[in-house]
Amino acid sequence: MKKWIILIIVIAAVAAVIYMQLKWQTITVLLAALGAPFKYISGLLGEKEEDIKKEHAAIRRREETYQRELAAKASKKEENIRSIETQITELDEQLAEIEKKKHSIDKEVDNMSLQELQLAGRNYFGD
């Protein structure tokens, strides 16, 4: 129905343009005069207030569901981040322990005599 009304208005506007020989002021007034009744008629034929309220309520429900899903995903990702941070902390502690062992071995090797170094080399690398 709206398409027919729009088509009639467009045809009337084209006829007015041809009749008025492209006088833009007159055409503008005619379009404004035709626009007001069209707006009124489209309001009568358009969506009712209850339909609009129902549509908005459905949109709100979908938004709430979407927000809950986002919150669940965000909390899961935060939990994963905490788990990864815990793993990083444990690995840092292990790395610090390995560094301590390395320094103690370096000190031990520095304190070894030549004969002890040769004996350790033979033990690890063979004769």
The pLDDT tens digits for 31-53 are 777 777 777 776 666 667 777 78
pTM of the model: 0.46
Does pLDDT of 90 surpass 80?
A: yes
Residues 6+ apart with CB under 8 A from 6: 38
Q: Of 53, 52, 47, 15, whose CA–CA distance to 31 is shortest?
A: 15
Question: E strand or H helix at 11, and its extent?
Answer: helix 2-20
Confidence class of residue 103 from pLDDT cuts 50, 70 and 90? very high
Task: Tell me what the pLDDT averaged over the chain comes to.
Answer: 83
Question: E strand or H helix at 96, and its extent?
Answer: helix 49-111
Report, as an integer, the average pLDDT of 58-73: 96
Please report, for the chain, the start and end positions of each structural domain, with discontinuous segments joined by +.
1-46, 49-108
Confidence class of residue 1 from pLDDT cuts 50, 70 and 90? low
pLDDT of 87: 97
pLDDT of 115: 83
**Alpha-carbon separation of residue 94 from 89, 91, 103 (angstroms):** 9, 5, 14
